[in-house]
Amino acid sequence: MSVGKLDGTGRRILVIDDDLAIRILLQAVLRRMKFDVELAEDGAAGLEKLQRDGGGYDLILLDLMMPRLNGFEFIEKIRESYAGRRPHIVVFTAAGKRGVEKIPADAVCASILKPFDLDRFIEIIGECLNHDHETRPVPHAAKR
């Protein structure tokens, strides 16, 4: 699925990553697809935005290795606070497959390892937005 084929009109995405370049890249790509995009520099800032907005995001794109509140801690807090109505989460990480395997399968929609292919990443976003992972878990995506 290429950038032009996914229509994000009316959908909100929260990008949480401590790497400014990644945040800016994903924001530009996603806005081009008409998504409403919010950015957070770490899990703590992402959790603040989520709490302030009442969990109103369709998707969270989450890095695992970050300062203050890392991705693992963020996922645990979401599972505690938003059980039954949490947004879909796509994890991306350079930590390797072992890091991703520590996350409960029903906690995330998909995962992808850094560096990732942007077209494959967009494909994963589309798959997660079109499935309810709380009742039908989507398996972790492998790097292509």
Q: Where are the domains of the chain?
A: 7-129
Count of all residues that appear for the chain in the document: 144
Comparing 42 with 2, the larger pLDDT belongs to: 42
Longest Cα separation, the chain:
36
Q: Express each pLDDT in 14-51 by its tens digit.
A: 999 999 999 999 999 999 999 999 999 999 999 999 88
Would you state the torsion angle of the CA atoms of residues 96, 68, 50, 7, taken in this order, to the nearest 10 degrees? Answer: -40
Q: Express each pLDDT in 48-90 by its tens digit.
A: 998 887 768 999 999 988 888 988 899 888 887 766 666 788 8
CATH of 7-129, one of 3.40.50.2300, 3.40.228.10, 3.30.413.10, 3.30.2130.10: 3.40.50.2300
The DSSP bridge partners found for residue 133 are none
pLDDT at 16: 95
How far, in Å, CA of 13 to CA of 144, rounded?
24
How far, in Å, CA of 69 to CA of 120, rounded?
27
Q: How confident is the model at residue 13 (pLDDT cuts 50, 70, 90)?
A: very high
DSSP labels for the chain? --GGG---TT-EEEEE-S-HHHHHHHHHHHHHTT-EEEEESSHHHHHHHHHHTTT--SEEEEESS-SSS-HHHHHHHHHHHSTTTPPEEEEEESS-HHHHHTS-GGG-SEEEESS--HHHHHHHHHHHHTS-TTTSPPPPPPP-
